[in-house]
């Protein structure tokens, strides 16, 4: 099983759009890039989505290849496949982590999500999201709280996981 991203953190974004990637995230990116070797720059894919998406999704090469394979299994010409192709292929960009462990975010992507002085990174398993900290606090944080309100205080969210085969 591939390594997963864990945790969240906030980092400064400089005037050129450079932002440090959390060190543990870099190890996952390197381990999930089949073309990476020490001394090289690891590859990633940033999915920026349409105008409704106000965050960036950053995928490892292994994760994006899995998604590409899933899209290829869909019926050609179906509205669902066309939508996913547009999102995952047309509204994305492949890039690399620089030698100092930074990601250079193009100005158009920074403007799209309103990113200025800081970027908030949060793990999502085999990818992570980059948000403007204030947008994350206003949207995603409240979404999780609303979901949690549906359950009693002593509810264990792990009970939502599908059962594992025994034996």
Chain segment 63-72, per-residue pLDDT in tens? 999 999 999 9
Whether 50 is in a domain gets the answer yes
pLDDT at residue 1 in the model: 45
Whether 64 is in a domain gets the answer yes
- d(Cα 11, Cα 31) in Å, to the nearest integer? 23
**CB-based contact 58:88 (threshold 8 Å):** no
The stretches in the chain having pLDDT less than 70 are: 1-2, 167
pLDDT at residue 159 in the model: 87
Whether 1 is in a domain gets the answer no
pLDDT at residue 2 in the model: 58
Range of the domain at 19: 8-151
Which residue, chain included where needed, has tokens 């190890």?
27
Q: 102: domain CATH number? A: 3.40.1550.20
**CB-based contact 60:126 (threshold 8 Å):** yes
* C-alpha separations of 100 from 26, 45, 46, 154 in Å: 11, 18, 19, 44
Whether 161 is in a domain gets the answer no
Whether 160 is in a domain gets the answer no
Whether 91 is in a domain gets the answer yes
Other C-beta atoms lying within 10 Å of the C-beta of residue 115: 24
Whether 167 is in a domain gets the answer no
Residue of 95, 100, 94 whose CA lies nearest to 23:
100
Chain segment 23-47, per-residue pLDDT in tens? 899 999 999 999 998 889 999 999 9
Whether 159 is in a domain gets the answer no
- H/E element, 102: strand 102-104
- Total count of domains within the chain: 1
């Amino acid at each position: 099983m591939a390594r997963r991203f864990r945790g969240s953190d906030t980092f400064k974004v400089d005037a050129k759009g450079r932002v440090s990637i959390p060190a543990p995230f870099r190890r996952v990116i390197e381990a999930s890039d089949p073309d990476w070797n020490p001394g090289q720059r690891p590859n990633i894919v940033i999915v920026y989505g349409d105008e409704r998406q106000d965050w960036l999704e950053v995928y490892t090469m292994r994760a994006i290849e899995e998604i590409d394979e899933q899209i290829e299994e869909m019926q050609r010409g179906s509205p669902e496949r066309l939508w996913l192709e547009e999102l995952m292929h047309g509204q994305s960009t492949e890039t690399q982590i620089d030698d100092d462990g930074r990601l250079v975010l193009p100005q158009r992507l920074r403007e799209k999500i309103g990113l200025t002085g800081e970027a908030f990174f949060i793990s999502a398993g085999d990818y992570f999201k980059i948000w403007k900290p204030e947008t994350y606090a206003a949207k995603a944080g409240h979404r999780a709280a609303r979901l949690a309100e549906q359950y009693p205080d002593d509810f264990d969210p792990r009970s939502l996981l599908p059962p594992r085969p025994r034996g």
